Amino acid sequence: MSRTGIANPGSFADPDPRFPFPHSPAPTRCQSEPATFDFAKGDRSGESRAATEQRLDRARQACSGCPIVKDCLRWALVNEDLTRVGVFAATTPVQRVVLRKRLADRLGPDWIDVLADQDQARRERSAAARHTPLTANQTRIVRLDRDANGPMRVPLTPAQQQRNRARLLAGLTAA
């Protein structure tokens, strides 16, 4: 799929429906300047190595300010057949191959299914949170936890959860 959402005529693969192509309410640089992002492995388009690097740097800088860069990278990693050329989320095709291998090492050979399951679980939690909002005390606990520990990176064990809950409640009663 190209940056404009039109399928490449030579591609035989369809995008994974669990990972929709990211869209932004405002036009992104890749939509307004698609030539900047056209890049294939070893592509120099008749230009010097320095000129190729400058072109890549321009594409990477444009991606750095993009509001959908995270979703763009996820989409590009999942849809390998559709992203064999081009710069997506400031990554080249070779860099995406390396990232896919790292994901497979970390999450297993079915890493795409793992990511899809994580996304589905996140959407379900978000939907549940909209229907059952936190109480004022729960909101304070979450805020205290985030201030004390930063964003949560890995799931906590039940013992760690209990310890944190006790600390947070002690902080609430002291405040």
- What residue segments make up the domains of the chain, in order of their start? 29-112, 130-174
What is residue 71's predicted lDDT score, i.e. its pLDDT? Answer: 92
Average pLDDT rounded to a whole number, residues 77-83:
93
Average pLDDT rounded to a whole number, residues 87-111:
92
- Judged against a pLDDT cut of 60, whether residue 8 lies above it is answered with no
For residues 50 and 55, give the distance between their C-alpha atoms in angstroms, rounded to a whole number: 9
What is residue 4's predicted lDDT score, i.e. its pLDDT? Answer: 38
pTM for the model stands at 0.64
pLDDT interval class at 18 (50, 70, 90): very high
Contact by Cβ (8 Å): 116, 19 = yes
